[in-house]
Structure 1
Amino acid sequence: MLFHHTVSAIATVLFLSFSSSDAATFLDDRGTTHEWDNTVKAKVAVRAGVGGLSLFHMGMTADQLVAVWDDWAIRGSELDPENPDAAPIFPEMGPTPEEIAFLSSAINLSPSCYLNTRGCGQIDNMTDLFALRDEVNFFLYIDNGWDPQALEMDAAGLPVIFVDTYFEYNETCRAFNYSQIDPSTCYGRSMIDIANRIEELAVFLGSDVDIDALNAQKQAACEAASALTDAAAQAHEKGIRIKNIWLAIEQDENGTSYATLSDHDPIELWVPRTLEELGMPFLHADTYEGWGEITSIQYFKGCEAVAISEECNGDTYFPVDFWMIDSRSSRLIDDNFKILFPDRAILADQWWYTPMNDGPVSYKSIASYLAAFTERISAAENVQEASEECTPVDPKSTTLLQAGGLGGLPLNGFVCYDKTLIQEEYLKCPELSAPAPTTDSEPAPSAPTPTADAPTPTEATPTTGEEGTVPTSSVVAYDFLLTFKMALMTVIAAIYL
């Protein structure tokens, strides 16, 4: 009888231990530790483009997707879910018919604006989201941290996982309420940094991550990055300068139309950050006031206010040979716009669109976008005279990556090309047998070196409400422990029987 109770007790302890250890952990970008048995697929609600489509590329299937919100395509798109086979305006960013079907399988929390070409950025009715608390395991906030509705999720006690699309985690960068504490410690993320984090998240959530398929995506991204790096060297040799902007058409008090452009420094957004890390000569701004907006009158310094034309377009505020333009305002460029803004690069059609904090961020989208950009920048020529010399600085340095106007270079400064300083993470082609993240996996490599030390596996990790230290994230596998316990339970059961 004693043996019976002893064996039963041991079996119970082993069963409880087995159950409690069969869990994965993910440390998000607020320093919050999340746990989940990732042998089971977690049910999620997520922002459609940046979150949902990125996770779809990583292997998530419709049986995990409960609800989505925000735009289904990048701003400026004219998506029609009723006609999914129609060619997208921005094919590199999709969505494809398969991706549309994936999003369509879920509850749409933004029916009023999810197709708005100017952008959406909202959940129509937060009570609709709150009503899903019993159906959803995790509410995924994969975004820039500036959405007030995310705070409402916290206030409602929903389990929110935050993946920051702007900054690497640093305990002194963001507070738990997403506000910036010290912008000098907020270091920009590029596309590969975000994609790595989303891959880790997909594994944590129990998604059907196909390692071979994912490695094929990584291989394509690696090859595209390598080709772009070579094109960057050629761009420097040609004397080409690139600028990232947002365009608009305004009217003065007399009803006369004129063009304006707002600067987006390359440290501010993940696409230009990526291109600069791969060697592209991006012009910096040295100002963040009012988004650095200037009018066409200010831009064409050699023209009279009432006589802006090709005849005087040689002296400009930015000596640009190739424009990167917000996807929405890129739709403004036509023959009429070229009259309002007769910039040499615009007249030569030397420009490409920039997704502005929207669209998927995955190895697939990296490969597609970089390949398309490389084709266009390789065909570009120098069209504008410039006297500025490049600055020999590491594009991944913490000084350059600081947010809030504290980083970057002086007006029209740009980083010298140095292949030894190229973001190596983009050029690491995968091993064919590379495994998914495991217990010992390291966090996604970050561009800067954090100011705080990352916790070791034996150190306490931050929990909800704490600012904590620089987090790591991993999916915890218990293969050895699992095998040992199963074998031991089998032996005990055999003895007992």
Structure 2
Amino acid sequence: MACRCSPLLLPLRGWSALLLAPMLIVQFANAAIFVDDRGVQHTWDESTKARVAVRAGIGAVSLYHMGMREEQLAATWGLWGVRGSDFDPENPSQGSIYPEADPSPEEAAFLASAVNLSPSCWKNPRGCFQWDDTAEVLGMRDEIDFIVNIDNGSAEDSYNAAEEAGMNVIFIDTFYDYNENCRASNYSIIDTSFCYGRSMLDIAQRIEELAVFLGVEVDQNSLNQQKQAACDAAQAFTETMKELHDKGIRVKVSIVDTELRDDTGVTTAYVADFDPIELWVPRTLEELGMPLLHAASYENNEYGYIYSDEYFPDCTPGFVNDTCNGNTYFPVDFWLIDSRSFILIDDNFKLIFPDRAMLAGQYWSYPRNDGSISYVMIESLLNEYRTRLGSAVKLQDSTGTCTPADPKATAHLVADGTGGLGLNEFICYDEAAIQQEYLQCPTVAPVPPVSTPTSPTPPTANPPVPTSPTTSASSDAILVSTITSIAAAAVTAFLMFCSTSE
């Protein structure tokens, strides 16, 4: 029986067949799938650089750290720096009060290369979380392959509108690990008992996976150097945290503010009480051993607000001062205050809230649901906190003992109100419970010598455990080349067979 070839294949001979086979194979080999944190599946040819729209400070800068450059950044929205900062996106070289968290001039130049979708609020230090005009976003649909939503599920109406109009929206959850019973595809929470908090490393790894999917030219050795620096910072940080435990120091994460009381006409101060498992920065710090004080339980998982009179029970109501500040609602030796309210702490604030740690200057800021989430940021924050906490001294007369618990356990991280610990409890320092992923340094290629090389250093007895390697571009190329050669030969042989059989 004679072989019948497709009319599309009959004209192909020799080099034509060799050209067709690679096209078919490469298209198949480069097809990639990314399942986002709503469970939505996205496909893309990762050999092509996708163009994206993404929230500026939290998303675009994170992707920049992974290797994304201007040709892939179509548009941004939101703040460039963290909330409360004096960072000026139009003059980034002047720096800011939060250099450890705000963009560098190079990162700011990257953001400036894209369309600004939120000109109404992009410099508002109180916050800017969505674009101004959905119609403008939809008008850019031919320039945007993916809208990237790296956030906690807020501003969902804007993303839903873009998705309903046919745009592709990728969601990376900064609050919870993916669980089909935790969050619905419209970003709403289904059941908090299936929602488990993420730390910074969890989120950074997801963003790295996303960068690869989007076709970012990831320099693996450069990225490994970032991971090595973060790993070194984590090791030094956790050693300092052990020293804090030995000193008996307690740390409280909070928000501060003032209020004019209607009943007395007097301005008073208050601090917020919430559990550190609710935010990714405190979760990271606790996983690495920080003695963080936990919160009381409040209705509907809301925050509690503790006013000065309640905070200093030994003071006469309305007459809070430093002569009666020994007994406090929280036995705090060092405060971490969110970047928005940190700037409120001045001499006047300390008069109406004379906490010993604040009077001693033992407080610093943290980005609350703000800033990039990458290996670069992990290193920056851990080094900053290690330096500031390393010189802290115990100020309160607290005698409470620690609670043995695993800060990584789902029972501790669950968001249904049963996670965390009780009021003023904190986790014991336990080397076995430290999040080891932060301490697993990757293999970094050696820097080429610029002079006569020295003898190599003998390997250590217990070298660091490398992270799972990402398939390199060179190995992909070898694989594709091999498959292409086989396929091309097969196509050519098939065509030759057809030509002799007709």
The DSSP-based 3-state class of the residue aligned with 1:85 is: helix
> Which residue of 2 is the match for residue 423 of structure 1?
435
Q: How does 1:309-388 map to 2 (within 5 A)?
A: 309-388=321-400
Measured in 1, the distance between the counterparts of 2:249 and 2:49 equals 48
> Which residue of 2 is the match for residue 486 of structure 1?
484
Please say if 1:224 is aligned against 2:224: no
> Which residue of 1 is the match for residue 288 of structure 2?
278
Which letter maps to 1:273? Answer: R
> Which residue of 2 is the match for residue 110 of structure 1?
118
Residue 146 of structure 1 deviates from its aligned partner by 2.2
2:293–2:423 Cα contact (<8 Å) kept? yes
Point out the more displaced range, 2-11 or 124-133.
2-11
Relative distance call for 1:328 and 1:288 in structure 2 (3 A) is same
> Which residue of 2 is the match for residue 459 of structure 1?
none
Report which of the two structures shows the higher radius of gyration computed on alpha carbons. Answer: 2
Please say if 1:65 is aligned against 2:73: yes
Residue 34 of structure 1 deviates from its aligned partner by 1.2
Percent of paired sites with the same residue: 51
1:137–1:159 Cα contact (<8 Å) kept? yes
Residue 89 of structure 1 deviates from its aligned partner by 1.2
The DSSP-based 3-state class of the residue aligned with 1:310 is: coil
Q: How does 1:19-34 map to 2 (within 5 A)?
A: 19-34=27-42
Residue 6 of structure 1 deviates from its aligned partner by 8.8
Residue 307 of structure 1 deviates from its aligned partner by 1.1
The DSSP-based 3-state class of the residue aligned with 1:134 is: coil
Please say if 1:56 is aligned against 2:57: no
Measured in 2, the distance between the counterparts of 1:166 and 1:421 equals 21
Q: Describe the superposition over 1:283-334 as per-residue Cα deviations: whole angstroms up to 9, x where unpaired.
A: 0002244411111111111111121011111111111001110101000111
Residue 82 of structure 1 deviates from its aligned partner by 2.8
2:278–2:415 Cα contact (<8 Å) kept? yes
Which letter maps to 1:110? Answer: S
Residue 3 of structure 1 deviates from its aligned partner by 8.3
2:87–2:95 Cα contact (<8 Å) kept? no
The DSSP-based 3-state class of the residue aligned with 1:332 is: coil
Please say if 1:402 is aligned against 2:414: yes
Q: Describe the superposition over 1:219-250 as per-residue Cα deviations: whole angstroms up to 9, x where unpaired.
A: 11001100110011000011101111111111
> Which residue of 2 is the match for residue 201 of structure 1?
210
Residue 485 of structure 1 deviates from its aligned partner by 3.2
> Which residue of 2 is the match for residue 460 of structure 1?
none
1:222–1:428 Cα contact (<8 Å) kept? yes
Measured in 1, the distance between the counterparts of 2:298 and 2:31 equals 45
2:27–2:45 Cα contact (<8 Å) kept? no
1:28–1:163 Cα contact (<8 Å) kept? yes
Measured in 1, the distance between the counterparts of 2:150 and 2:424 equals 32
> Which residue of 1 is the match for residue 499 of structure 2?
none
How many matched pairs? 461
The DSSP-based 3-state class of the residue aligned with 1:222 is: helix
Q: Describe the superposition over 1:335-377 as per-residue Cα deviations: whole angstroms up to 9, x where unpaired.
A: 1111011000000111111101110011011101100100011
Measured in 2, the distance between the counterparts of 1:208 and 1:22 equals 14
Point out the more displaced range, 395-404 or 218-227.
395-404
2:40–2:185 Cα contact (<8 Å) kept? no
Residue 40 of structure 1 deviates from its aligned partner by 1.0
TM-score (ref. length: structure 1): 0.88
Please say if 1:262 is aligned against 2:263: no
Decide which of 405, 418, 437 is 2:470's aligned counterpart: 437
Q: Describe the superposition over 1:10-35 as per-residue Cα deviations: whole angstroms up to 9, x where unpaired.
A: 95687545423421111111112211
TM-score (ref. length: structure 2): 0.87
2:241–2:290 Cα contact (<8 Å) kept? yes
1:203–1:436 Cα contact (<8 Å) kept? no
> Which residue of 1 is the match for residue 200 of structure 2?
191
Residue 494 of structure 1 deviates from its aligned partner by 6.1
Please say if 1:121 is aligned against 2:129: yes
Please say if 1:178 is aligned against 2:176: no
> Which residue of 2 is the match for residue 466 of structure 1?
none
Measured in 1, the distance between the counterparts of 2:416 and 2:362 equals 29
Measured in 2, the distance between the counterparts of 1:435 and 1:276 equals 25
Q: Describe the superposition over 1:422-479 as per-residue Cα deviations: whole angstroms up to 9, x where unpaired.
A: 000100111125786349xxxxxxxxxxxxxxxxxxxxxxxxxxxxxxxxxxx9x965
Which letter maps to 2:259? Answer: E
Residue 39 of structure 1 deviates from its aligned partner by 1.0
Measured in 2, the distance between the counterparts of 1:14 and 1:331 equals 59
Point out the more displaced range, 119-128 or 159-168.
119-128
Residue 127 of structure 1 deviates from its aligned partner by 1.2
Measured in 2, the distance between the counterparts of 1:288 and 1:99 equals 40
> Which residue of 2 is the match for residue 469 of structure 1?
none
The DSSP-based 3-state class of the residue aligned with 1:276 is: helix
Please say if 1:158 is aligned against 2:167: yes
Q: Describe the superposition over 1:385-433 as per-residue Cα deviations: whole angstroms up to 9, x where unpaired.
A: 2132111010111111011422110111110000111000100111125
Q: Higher RCO, 1 or 2 (CA under 8 Å, sep at least 6)? A: 1
> Which residue of 2 is the match for residue 8 of structure 1?
9
The DSSP-based 3-state class of the residue aligned with 2:257 is: strand
Residue 260 of structure 1 deviates from its aligned partner by 1.1
Residue 493 of structure 1 deviates from its aligned partner by 6.8
Residue 483 of structure 1 deviates from its aligned partner by 2.5
Please say if 1:248 is aligned against 2:245: no
Structure 1: unaligned runs, 5 residues or longer? 440-474
Measured in 2, the distance between the counterparts of 1:151 and 1:269 equals 25
Measured in 2, the distance between the counterparts of 1:399 and 1:490 equals 55
Please say if 1:147 is aligned against 2:159: no
Which letter maps to 1:31? Answer: G
Which letter maps to 2:164? Answer: A
Which letter maps to 1:108? Answer: N
The DSSP-based 3-state class of the residue aligned with 2:277 is: coil
Residue 137 of structure 1 deviates from its aligned partner by 0.6
Q: Describe the superposition over 1:79-119 as per-residue Cα deviations: whole angstroms up to 9, x where unpaired.
A: 22332210221111121111111111111111111111111
Measured in 1, the distance between the counterparts of 2:29 and 2:375 equals 31
Measured in 1, the distance between the counterparts of 2:235 and 2:284 equals 13
